[in-house]
């Protein structure tokens, strides 16, 4: 049933909110927010796309944004990754997020086998 890892938008949003010291609810806010919240949202979108493997369209649906906004968010984070310090942090978040996703999928698979 869960043979392929499933992108979980709340997971990437929670990681980005914690990493950027902003609230989870603000990540999903429909309104334009402070710059720090926008950056956290961009990071959440990027992680959802890169670490969890969601398509651009899937990210757009999950975060209630259009695809151009998703592409802009991903490009912004990619540009920030030119900074070695930011890149190291982003790499750690990607690795941790993918491991958490795999753990959740394993638990779901074990539960469905019973």
Quote the pTM value. Answer: 0.86
Give the pLDDT confidence of 61-112 residue by residue, as tens digits.
999 999 999 999 999 999 999 999 999 999 999 999 989 888 888 888 886 6
State the pLDDT confidence band at 2, using cuts at 50, 70 and 90.
very low
Q: Which residue has the higher pLDDT, 7 or 4?
A: 7
Position 5 scores a pLDDT of 56
State the pLDDT confidence band at 1, using cuts at 50, 70 and 90.
very low
**pLDDT mean over 41-52:** 95
The residues near 23 (Cβ < 8 Å, ≥ 6 apart) are 17
């Amino acid at each position: 049933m869960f043979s392929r890892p499933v992108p979980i938008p709340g997971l990437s949003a929670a990681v980005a909110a914690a990493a950027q010291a902003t609230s989870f609810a603000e990540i999903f806010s429909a309104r334009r927010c402070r710059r720090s919240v926008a950056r956290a949202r961009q990071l959440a979108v990027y992680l959802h796309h890169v670490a969890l493997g969601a398509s651009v369209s899937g990210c757009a649906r999950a975060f209630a944004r259009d695809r151009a906004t998703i592409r802009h968010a991903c490009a912004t984070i990619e540009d920030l990754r030119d900074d070695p310090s930011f890149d190291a942090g982003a790499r750690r978040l990607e690795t941790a997020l993918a491991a958490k996703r795999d753990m959740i999928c394993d638990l779901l698979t074990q539960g469905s086998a019973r």
